[in-house]
A and B are shown apart, each in its own frame.
Chain A
Amino acid sequence: MRILVVDDSTTMRRIISNSLRAVGFEDIVEAGDGQQALQVLEGVNLLLTDWNMPNMDGLTLVKTVRGSAATAQLPIIMITSEGARDEVMEALAAGVNDYIVKPFTKEVLGEKVRSIIR
């Protein structure tokens, strides 16, 4: 079970990765923006992405992933500080499977991940 964590904040990537390890997920790769994420997508089973990032933001990444036959079915969770209804609806329309609003606990993150991969 390989999980790709995409966030432009190095510390937030570490927090998410450490939280995933704490709840039993060990195979984690990281990327600093959407463009970097596309370079390391092969073999990934779940994508966790921030929304606001330089170069390629999370929403564009989601649309790009969904637009490719090879990754169209990849489970995606967006983790972002923006939880306004319009943003959530836009992300869901773009193809995310679930949405986590920061701040979050590792228990919530673990439960969302398990729910998606069931």
Chain B
Amino acid sequence: MDAQYINPFVVALVNALETMLNITPERGTPYLKKEGQTQGDISAIIGFAGPNVTGSVALSLPTPVALKFYSLMMGEKVYRITNDVQDVVGELANIVAGGAKTELSAQNITFNISIPTVVVGPGHTIGHKGDIPVMVIPFEIGKHRFVLEVTMKLE
């Protein structure tokens, strides 16, 4: 998967975190996901499809990162993953997909995005569409790691 198609998702995530949460995560080296590999405790997944592309993006966070994002975004602390925490993680994924859509449309890659699906639970796996390779982009905030997963197939 070409970096020019992955970068818009990464840029959109960093922009969302910097603008709305006032934090800048440290980006790690991307790698291809192995089958069945699990990531965080809460994941928001958004599918997208257009005339020349299909794919999906998932934001997967460990519980401490999800709670931190919630407290920074809403200005209040929570101590477990509530419906509102799920809503915030879903909204972040929505902003990432929307930002990438905007950027990729300039490369004539156009698509519609779905409403986010949020999955909660330790050890859950994220199912992306078909047999397309999934690129994992790791990030770190403090001692915690979280990931963005992107898969995209150009027709």
Interface residues of A (CB under 8 A from B): 9-12, 14-15, 18, 52, 54, 80-86, 101-105
Contact across chains for B19 and A103 when beta carbons are under 8 A apart: yes
Q: Which of A9, A83, A104, A105 contacts B91 (CB 8 A)?
A: A9
Instruction: Please tell me the size bucket of the interface on B.
Output: 20 to 34
Interface pair B87/A86, CB less than 8 Å apart: no
Q: Are A103 and B75 in contact (CB under 8 A)?
A: no
> What's the Cα separation between A86 and B73 when bound, in Å?
29
Given known A-B contacts A11-B91, A18-B75, A83 and B99 have beta carbons under 8 A apart: yes
Q: Is chain B's binding surface mostly helix, strand, loop or mixed?
A: helix
Residues in chain A near residue B74, CB distance under 8 A: 11, 14-15
Contact of A12 with B91 in the complex, beta carbons under 8 Å? yes
List the 4 shortest-distance A-B pairs measured between CB atoms, nearest first. A81-B98, A103-B19, A84-B105, A83-B102
Residue B115 lies at the interface, judged by CB distance under 8 Å to chain A: yes
- Give every chain B residue within 8 A of A81 (Cβ-Cβ): 94-95, 97-99
Interface residues of B (CB under 8 A from A): 15-16, 19-20, 73-75, 84, 87-88, 90-91, 94-95, 97-99, 101-102, 105, 110, 113, 115
Measured CA separation A102–B99 after assembly (Å): 8
User: Inside 8 A of A84's CB, which chain B residues have their CB?
Assistant: 101-102, 105, 110
Residue of A nearest to B94 (CB): A81
